[in-house]
């Protein structure tokens, strides 16, 4: 089961899972993008059920889980990939911006997990993976709502893993991608007054590094091995190392790296 499967990393996850012989459940708010994913999975011989829905809508996700389980008989792997980027820091963002971004990222992981968890824990090899971000490893200026939401996804994942410790059949992964070459910046939300177009151009030019197909492969390798933490790209590895090595001083180190 992959949320946000209508584009980017989620689409590549669905395609790779289909190629590996999995029965793929794919959900997205965007029916057009989802349709294209379904076509691609089938085009490569995979079996897929596409369902339009908002991953942050708990009622809808319960319906989706019932439909997927009705079709496939159960769910072994849940990848909570749906999320929205947001441009803007504390200064520019309204309280409502924080609420929207929190719902779009943490809310989507929570509602989807609540809907699918009863089935995943029944699996002999259950896996839940939540897609956080390198911004779930380090805080940087100008991105507080998105960073807070991705740190929240990390906290949610770690708490869930702890809660499921008595179930050795289930592993929970939290995934931290660095910049991945998807359209995420072009569908990003932004605080009033922030030039989202300029930010998206900069994303394409200097942030996006890893191909989404490669990102999906890294996710699936980590999930198959039951890894707690999965880092995607040298940029995420660097963010992780800087946060661990420099502790409370990492912000200074990042500024040096970014300037250099
Ligand atoms: N691309 C990157 O550089 C990058 C870096 C770090 C983390 N991430 C995270 O990886 C995940 C996937 O990102 P991407 O780059 O593939 O994005 P993307 O914008 O290319 O694709 C995201 C897909 O999720 C769907 N979606 C968004 N909110 C949804 C919801 N509530 N319910 C159902 N579908 C929803 C969108 O319609 C879209 O099809 C996101 O959680 C994102 O925050 C991406």
Q: Which atom of ligand 1 is nearest to the CA of 184?
A: 19
CB count within 10 Å of CB 251 equals: 14
Residue 190 beta carbon below 6 angstroms from any ligand 1 atom: no
Residues 6+ apart with CB under 8 A from 240: 134, 137, 176, 231
Residue 5 beta carbon below 6 angstroms from any ligand 1 atom: no
Pick the catalytic residue from 87, 119, 135, 146.
146
Burial of residue 42 (CB within 10 Å: 0-12, 13-18, 19+) is: middle
Residue 130 beta carbon below 6 angstroms from any ligand 1 atom: no
* Gap between the Cα atoms of 260 and 228, Å rounded: 32
Tokens for 214, please give them. Answer: 């490669």
Average pLDDT over residues 14-27: 98
- The SS3 assignment for 156 reads helix
Tokens for 38, please give them. Answer: 């379904």
**Per-residue pLDDT for 260 more than 60?**
no
Q: What is the pLDDT of residues 130-189, one digit of tens each?
A: 999 999 999 988 999 999 999 999 999 999 999 999 999 999 999 999 999 999 999 999
Helix, strand, coil abundance in the chain, percent, nearest 5: 55, 15, 30
> Are 79 and 131 within 8 A, CB to CB?
yes
The CATH number that domain 2-259 falls under is: 3.40.50.720
119 catalytic? Reply is no
How far is the centre of ligand 1, averaged over its atoms, from the C-alpha of 136 (Å)? 15
Confidence of residue 244 (pLDDT cuts 50, 70, 90): very high
Tokens for 117, please give them. Answer: 């968890």
Nearest Cα to 78, choosing from 92, 91, 68?
A: 68
How far is the centre of ligand 1, averaged over its atoms, from the C-alpha of 184 (Å)? 6
Residues 6+ apart with CB under 8 A from 25: 1, 2, 48, 49, 51, 64, 68, 71, 72, 75
Confidence of residue 258 (pLDDT cuts 50, 70, 90): low
Tracing tokens 């980590």 back to the chain, one arrives at: 222
Q: What is the pLDDT of residues 145-159, one digit of tens each?
A: 999 999 999 999 999
Q: What is the pLDDT of residues 64-107, one digit of tens each?
A: 999 999 999 999 999 999 999 999 999 999 999 999 999 999 99
Residue 106 beta carbon below 6 angstroms from any ligand 1 atom: no
Q: How far is CA 189 from the centre of its chain?
A: 16
Q: Which atom of ligand 1 is nearest to the CA of 175?
A: 7
* Gap between the Cα atoms of 28 and 11, Å rounded: 10
* Gap between the Cα atoms of 53 and 166, Å rounded: 32
pLDDT of residue 221: 98
How far is the centre of ligand 1, averaged over its atoms, from the C-alpha of 19 (Å)? 21
How far is the centre of ligand 1, averaged over its atoms, from the C-alpha of 249 (Å)? 30
Residue 108 beta carbon below 6 angstroms from any ligand 1 atom: yes
Residue 7 beta carbon below 6 angstroms from any ligand 1 atom: yes
> Are 10 and 2 within 8 A, CB to CB?
yes
Q: What is the pLDDT of residues 197-209, one digit of tens each?
A: 999 999 999 999 9
- In the chain, the percentage of residues whose pLDDT exceeds 90 is 93
């Amino acid at each position: 089961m992959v949320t946000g499967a209508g584009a980017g990393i989620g689409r590549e996850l669905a395609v790779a899972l289909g190629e590996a012989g999995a029965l793929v459940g794919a959900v997205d708010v965007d029916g057009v993008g989802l349709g294209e994913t379904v076509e691609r999975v089938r085009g490569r011989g995979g079996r897929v059920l596409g369902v339009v829905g908002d991953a942050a809508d708990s009622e809808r996700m319960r319906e989706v889980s019932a439909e997927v389980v009705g079709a496939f008989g159960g769910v072994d792997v849940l990848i909570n990939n749906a999320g929205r980027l947001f441009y803007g820091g504390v200064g520019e963002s309204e309280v409502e911006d924080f609420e929207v971004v929190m719902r779009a990222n943490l809310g989507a992981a929570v509602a989807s997990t609540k809907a699918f968890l009863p089935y995943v824990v029944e699996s002999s090899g259950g896996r839940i993976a939540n897609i956080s971000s390198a911004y779930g490893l380090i805080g940087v200026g100008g991105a507080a709502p998105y960073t807070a939401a991705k740190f929240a996804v990390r906290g949610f994942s770690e708490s869930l893993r702890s809660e499921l410790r008595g179930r050795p059949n289930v592993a929970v992964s939290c995934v931290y991608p660095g910049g991945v070459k998807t359209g995420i910046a072009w569908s990003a939300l932004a605080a009033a007054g922030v030039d989202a177009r300029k930010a998206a151009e900069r994303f394409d030019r200097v942030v996006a590094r890893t191909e989404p197909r490669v990102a999906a492969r890294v996710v699936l390798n980590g999930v198959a091995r039951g890894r707690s933490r999965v880092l995607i790209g040298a940029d995420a590895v660097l963010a992780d190392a800087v946060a661990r090595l420099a502790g409370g001083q990492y912000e200074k180190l990042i500024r040096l790296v970014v300037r250099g």
